[in-house]
Chains A and B, each alone.
Chain A
Amino acid sequence: MEPDFVPTTSFVDFPEDVQLCILSFLTPPEIANFSCTSKRFVALCRSDAKLWHALCDRRWGSKTQIRKWGDGKICYRLLYKTLSEWESLIGFWRRSGQRSTSAAAAASAAPPPPPLVVFDWGPSFVAGSRVSPSQDGTYGVVKSPFLWMSLSPGGEPVNFVDPDGKGGEFGANYSVDSIGKTDLIPVDVNFMGCTHLVVEENMGLGGNSHRNGFRRSSSSANLCSDEEEASGGENGTFGSLPDRYMSEMYQHFANRTSPGGSSASRRQKKREKERQGKRRWEPEHFVKIVDCSPTPSRPLQGLWKGIGDCTKLEFYLVTYDEIGGIACRRVGEPADRFSGCAPVFWTSKATFIEPPFSQEEMIMYDSRMLLHPIDEENSMFGELPMENEPVTRILYINSSYDLLIPDLAGTTATDRRNEGRIWQYRDGTFGFGFLRDNFIIDLKHIAPNGCLLH
Chain B
Amino acid sequence: MSSSPPPSSAAASPSCPKKMIALRSSDGETFEIEEAAALQSKTLENMIDEDCAGTPIPLPNVTGKILAKVVEFCSKHAEPGVDDESLRAWDAEFVNVEQATVFDYILAANFLEIPTLLNLTCNVVADMIRGKTPDEIRKFFNIKSIFSPEEEEEVRRENHWAFE
Contact = CB atoms under 8 A, between A and B. Distances in A.
**A in complex with B:** yes
B107 A6 contact: no
Interface residues of A, number: 36
A32 B163 contact: yes
Q: Which range contains the number of B residues in contact with the other chain? A: 35 or more
Interface in A26-78: 26, 28-39, 41-42, 45-46, 77
B46 interface: no
Interface string B135-164: 001100111111100011001100110111
B147 A21 contact: no
Given A7-B103, A9-B100, A10-B103, A37 B146 contact: no
Chain B contact residues: helix, strand, loop or mixed: helix
A14 interface: yes
Given A12-B141, A22-B129, A32 B162 contact: yes
Contacts of A6: 142
Contacts, number: 100
Contacts of B146: 38-39
B164 A28 contact: yes
B123 A25 contact: yes
A34 B138 CA distance: 9
B12 to A, nearest CB: 30
A49 to B, nearest CB: 15
A23 interface: yes
Given A1-B99, A7-B103, A37-B143, 11 more contacts: A1-B98, A5-B99, A7-B99, A10-B143, A12-B143, A18-B110, A21-B119, A26-B126, A32-B163, A33-B133, A36-B147
21 contacts: A1-B99, A6-B142, A9-B103, A11-B143, A14-B107, A15-B110, A17-B110, A18-B106, A18-B110, A22-B122, A26-B126, A26-B129, A26-B130, A30-B130, A31-B163, A32-B160, A32-B164, A35-B155, A37-B143, A38-B144, A77-B162
Interface of A: 1, 5-12, 14-15, 17-18, 21-26, 28-39, 41-42, 45-46, 77
Interface of B: 98-100, 103-104, 106-107, 110, 118-119, 122-123, 125-126, 129-130, 132-134, 137-138, 141-147, 151-152, 155-156, 159-160, 162-164
